[in-house]
Structure 1
């Protein structure tokens, strides 16, 4: 049996270059793993207790495809508090992770050959989800300007033509931390409204914003008839990556198609996981506040120490929890990340994993205790030079 026996959807995918590095060090107790995008600390205790209570008291049966009514109502109430918008539950669909939300968006919106525009550097799974659905993905690159990542809005608008089906924006962005401004958001929205282009906004880092309680969101401005799908997740704001739970805000007309796609995929997210999600939406704001204090301290530490290392250019992010830094002379970030792992036992993600625009960069996740970050930075200082 050869690869030609399988579908192009399966064989046409490229392996994750982050996992290329991670698989060389997983299981090694001496490795400090900063390659994946997840916090080191545990999920909120109230989520764990809610899941236990659900398992103790309720049968773990199928739920409605679009999510448990209590969770959909909790999401609506949370969004009302955060964004000041009143959303009917028909506009809210529960997904088994933010990633599944992106896949559902791609499957429901994109036909084979449809043109999809994304912003790069970006998490590789985003483009993959739309490619699997048959989309032809084009990318518009961010650039570094005065020490920060920036979007050339005119260039993006030129790329968004009447032939474009969908624009996919990850903001705050993984890996750069770039965040769409409210002003640029409105310019993009007006342009896409005129041309009938769908906007899929991956907003999973929305609460990990360095300049306020939440980053500018399309939920703030989306009308019921707008072609906007806003995807979010419990993974980052509440350190629940392994729980696999998220949600989507969509026009009400998408409720039924998303239910059918979910039915013929996973049926529903597990009921005890949905119970955990509802608990943190109702009472988990203190966890986010404490986490952001930890992230602020981690950011300050990493910015100070990385910025002092020889040949390292630290670029200030606006959100998320990554340092995406450029290293002088690096033209093969994958091999550099492997070499750093081999020599220092520090696991970083190679910039090339996030597209050609990321070559020459490395990504470090600073959602770690200070002692772990200091140990990793000591080792990197030995590698790069202080």
Structure 2
């Protein structure tokens, strides 16, 4: 198990930076590392060479070496040059936030389409980091930052990488056309579609299972769902139904590469009749995380869709906090907010009623 040292970056909002650093720690553990230490650095101006100042780099090198770290994780997006310079200077592998998220996606992808989407994002990420025909990360052998989908080694020859990217894009375009035909068929059957969206680990899959009585089981881990899962949901009288789907969870600073690569999957949210935004109020910075989800929905073109907020895990917070958050999300979205517990079956019929009433 690799020993990771975390470097947080504060560019003016310390509380948000600390939340982000905490999340980086969760990402690191999810990727299979053990976290042995962390620091938060105040960065006013980004250095083209090291991202941080040379003085900070000198300080960090001493800390990293004294802690015996195998890998250093930066809570920022590093340029290929910054990543290479820091790795050479620290004499250990340095990865940025995007690469860690890509690494987790690589191990989570299960479907053929999901694996293609992850591989596309990974290849587009490593292409500018290749020197000649060798991956700059090859010196580290196996581990975080070297994995492709299903633990496979990624192609590292630049010419072959470019050809592979084109090949994958062609395959994903076919998948996109298939999805489009499926939506057309649902339209002919006059079936409304509802998409569950939300921050990673907010309980979307558990809610899908609870609403549809499917056999899908949610897992308490980051990015447990990468593909789109669809199930039929009936109203309480059983005479109406909609198709409800689960999607990949979002996260702060979700890499643009992933948004682009998962466009065909995320289109389910864009073309759905209704979005159900699942919020976990027990997470630190729940409101900020929910606002991040709304930003991403706007970015992919789903910002104008009808939306209901499902305030999940309501049984785990005090009533005062629940009331405050309900009012807060009503102000943010201008839509209906339903407090629920997917796990303990609280207010699920109320949520169903709200869904069918909104779709009238």
For normalisation by structure 2, the TM-score amounts to: 0.30
For normalisation by structure 1, the TM-score amounts to: 0.29
Larger Rg: 2
Of structures 1 and 2, the one with the larger relative CO (CA 8 A, separation 6+) is: 1
